[in-house]
Amino acid sequence: MSFAHPWALVFLLVPVALLARVWRTGGGRLVLPLDHHPGPGGRWLRVLLDTAESLLPLAAAVGIVIAAGPTRTGTPRTRRVLSNIEFCVDVSGSMGVPYADGTRYDASMAAIDQFLGMRAGDAFGLTFFGSSVLHWAPLTTDTSAVRCAMPFMRPDRVPPWFGGTEIGRALLAAATVLDARPEGDRAIILVSDGMSSDLDGDGPARVIRTLTEKRIALWTIHVGGGQIPAEVVDIAAATGGAAFAADDPGMLRDVFARIDRLQPTRLATTAADTIDAFAPWAAAGLAVLMLATLASLGLRYTPW
């Protein structure tokens, strides 16, 4: 236990002196002139009366301790480490191909919506890409911007310059967004269905170098069948993520659930807070005052 105002404890010398006076003198008894000797003593009665006389100095001592501001160290708490997740969604023409009851784009956005419900408390951003990149929603714990994006960036509505698929360009743009967040885990979830036109030559090595330097894991989902581009698989593996294929909407939802398990929520222990510790001293002071009140009704020294 520590004190906010330890200097106040110096005043404890006063009740200590009063207690010493009570126990050394044995109270305030008087000898009347007609008495020529102190009379028979009662040892246990004297102890009881001295104890009663000590109650008020003890109450004063408790009051001084409370005035000194007793504190204690609380129990260390844990807090959730924020995960910053940037969705990179392909909106090239092939994402408009029929896929179950909708299109590949529709199923991808629906799976993302479900994934948002699994990760309440994390920060999400949304980037659409084709041959160009559009940062639709900044990283935020308010997921409404991501959930409401579906009808606006359907492949049949995007401008013509989104027609290709440049995954490398999208990943580097998403990495820039995540790099602005100094705290928390960082991850990119890439949803695409095609080959990238900008991952030839040293393109994959450049992306890997950027993502690893910024501590960003890549999780990629290849929608609609076909083989996952080897370059994307290598980037995901090098950054601590993985690549998955989703041939139907059911598999797509399962992949997002698997990513949720592989990108677990981390808890960090925070420093323990210093909190007030008045309660035990207040209870002790109240008890001493109640006993002193009862003792004052008759348990005290008298001069006769």
What mean pLDDT is predicted for residues 28-38? 51
Q: Is 160 domain-assigned?
A: yes
- Confidence category of residue 264, pLDDT binned at 50, 70, 90: low
Pick from 263, 264, 265, 223: nearest CA to 247: 223
Residues 248 and 288 in one domain: no
pLDDT attached to residue 303: 53
Residues 151 and 243 in one domain: yes
pLDDT attached to residue 136: 92
- Confidence category of residue 253, pLDDT binned at 50, 70, 90: confident
Find the CATH number of the domain harbouring 142: 3.40.50.410
The proportion of the chain whose per-residue pLDDT surpasses 90, expressed as a percent, equals 25
Query: Considering the chain, what is the average pLDDT of its residues?
Result: 83
Q: Is 301 domain-assigned?
A: no
Residues 140 and 252 in one domain: yes
Q: Is 304 domain-assigned?
A: no
pLDDT attached to residue 220: 92
Residues 126 and 68 in one domain: no
- Confirm whether pTM is higher than 0.85: no
pLDDT attached to residue 197: 78
Number of domains in the chain: 2
Residues 16 and 105 in one domain: no
Residues 41 and 139 in one domain: no
User: Which domain, by its residues, includes 13?
Assistant: 2-74+272-295
Q: Is 140 domain-assigned?
A: yes
Residues 69 and 161 in one domain: no
Give yes or no for residue 226 having a pLDDT over 70: yes
